[in-house]
């Protein structure tokens, strides 16, 4: 770290898909946080942002800045924007591949600013992968692209977090049948190690506890309902313990998410996508945050998509973006403290 403390730096908020709800929730988030912070700046088109504010009837002063460090000084009275001009005007609900390069440039610049100690964390607005694919984007999503930008063979791990629960899916965007085939001891161990390290460095938990979910009903019922717990998951739990990580399981997934169980662990390793996301979204649908662990910079994101069906209407809920900003700032400050101490 440089002499400047990350907690004093603004957050870099990417444009996301300009035809989605990103501009609207960014404006709403600024109105909600401009007095108490954390300060942030938007990497996008200031004209588009002004138009979105006008559609919503929200009086919003836009300040075009030349450098990230200017954001904090103007944040209370205006929304700072580091310009990233769109190739063509954006129409809410109608994504245009011509704007894909501006979307990707926004992400690249945000990462460069954080890695250059000019911003505290990257907070990404939702993207639309289909439009990016048309423009030649070759990554499954944000996470893989960010890992490439990080360099050095970084292994990214997805965490979903809200006030009451943190979950880490070991397999993510796979069919259930393919997720079972892809479930390996090495993957569980890698996710567990990265999650435990992040809980210490980014969340300030000195001795974190991980709960590990089983795959099958009743965690396999001693092999009668499936052997994955015996052959794959339990050996991974033993290996994590041998590495000095406090871990328990595998436990039946249907017993891991009630209040007492949530209080007994700092995060839950889940075996597939919906096993992780259903409980989190049930507990806090609007406040969930997508966190990428294992990168040399902090990245958070709202736990929702572009919502083209309501883009331009002003109906979008900004709570997840606000939670992402606050969590990103807190994680950056904690990471800086951990590195210094």
Q: Largest alpha-carbon pair distance within the chain?
A: 63
Please check whether residue 261 is in contact with residue 274, taking contact to mean a CB–CB distance below 8 angstroms.
no
- DSSP for 157-183? EEEEE-SS-EEEESS-SS-HHHHHHH-
> What element of type H or E holds 289?
strand 289-293
pLDDT at 7: 52
Q: Please tell me the pTM assigned to this model.
A: 0.93
> Per residue of the chain (341 residues), what is the pLDDT tens digit?
233 434 589 999 999 999 999 999 999 999 999 999 999 999 999 999 999 999 999 999 999 999 999 999 999 999 999 999 999 999 999 999 999 999 999 999 999 999 999 999 999 999 998 888 888 888 877 888 899 999 877 789 999 999 999 999 999 988 999 999 999 999 999 999 999 999 999 999 999 999 999 999 999 999 999 999 999 999 999 999 999 999 999 999 999 999 999 999 999 999 999 999 999 999 999 999 999 999 999 999 999 999 999 999 999 999 999 999 999 999 999 999 998 87
Packing angle of the helix pair 234-242, 185-201 (nearest 10 deg): 40
pLDDT at 6: 45
Comparing CA positions, the residue from 278, 235, 236 lying closest to residue 253 is 278
Q: What share of the chain is helix, strand, coil (3-state, %, to 5)?
A: 45, 15, 40
Query: Do 164-283 and 1-157+287-341 fall under one CATH topology?
Result: yes
Please check whether residue 122 is in contact with residue 146, taking contact to mean a CB–CB distance below 8 angstroms.
yes
Please check whether residue 287 is in contact with residue 319, taking contact to mean a CB–CB distance below 8 angstroms.
yes
Packing angle of the helix pair 22-33, 319-340 (nearest 10 deg): 70
Q: And the tokens for 317?
A: 């809920």
Query: What are the backbone dihedrals phi and psi of residue 206, each rounded to the nearest 5 degrees, phi first?
Result: -65, -40
Domain extents for the chain?
Answer: 1-157+287-341, 164-283
Q: How many CB atoms lie within 10 A of CB 127?
A: 27
In this structure, whether the domain defined by 1-157+287-341 belongs to CATH 3.10.350.10 is answered with no
> Within the chain, how many helices (H) and strands (E) appear?
13, 12
The total number of residues shown for the chain amounts to 341
DSSP helix/strand/coil, 28: helix
pLDDT at 2: 34
Q: What is the CATH number of domain 164-283?
A: 3.40.718.10
């Amino acid at each position: 770290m440089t002499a400047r403390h990350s907690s004093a730096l603004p957050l870099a908020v990417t444009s996301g898909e300009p035809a989605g709800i990103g501009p609207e929730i960014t404006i709403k988030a600024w109105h909600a946080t401009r007095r108490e912070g954390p300060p942030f700046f938007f990497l996008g088109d200031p004209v588009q942002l002004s138009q979105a504010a006008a559609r919503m009837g929200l009086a919003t002063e836009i300040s075009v800045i030349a450098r990230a460090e200017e954001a904090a000084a103007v944040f209370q009275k205006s929304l700072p924007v580091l310009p990233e001009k769109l190739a063509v005007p954006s129409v809410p609900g109608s994504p245009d591949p011509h704007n894909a390069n501006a979307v990707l440039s926004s992400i690249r610049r945000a990462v460069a600013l954080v890695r250059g100690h000019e911003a505290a964390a990257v907070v990404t607005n939702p993207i639309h992968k289909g439009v990016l694919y048309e423009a030649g984007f070759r990554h499954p999503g944000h996470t893989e692209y960010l890992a490439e930008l990080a360099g050095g063979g970084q292994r990214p791990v997805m965490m979903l977090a809200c006030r009451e629960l943190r979950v880490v899916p070991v397999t993510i965007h796979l069919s259930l049948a393919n997720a079972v085939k892809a479930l390996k001891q090495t993957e569980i161990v890698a996710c567990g190690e990265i999650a435990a390290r992040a809980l210490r460095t980014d969340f300030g938990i000195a001795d974190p506890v991980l709960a590990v979910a089983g795959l099958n009903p009743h965690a396999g019922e001693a092999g009668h309902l499936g052997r994955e717990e015996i052959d794959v998951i339990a050996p991974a739990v033993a290996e994590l313990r041998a590495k000095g990580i406090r871990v328990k399981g595998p436990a039946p997934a249907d017993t891991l998410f009630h209040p007492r169980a949530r209080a007994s662990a700092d995060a839950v390793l889940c075996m597939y996508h919906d096993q992780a996301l259903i409980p989190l979204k049930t507990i806090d649908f609007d406040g969930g945050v997508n966190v990428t662990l294992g990168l040399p910079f902090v990245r958070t994101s709202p736990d929702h998509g572009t919502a083209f069906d309501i883009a331009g209407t002003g109906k979008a809920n900004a709570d997840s973006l606000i939670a992402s900003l606050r969590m990103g700032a807190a994680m950056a400050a904690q990471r800086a403290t951990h590195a210094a101490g």
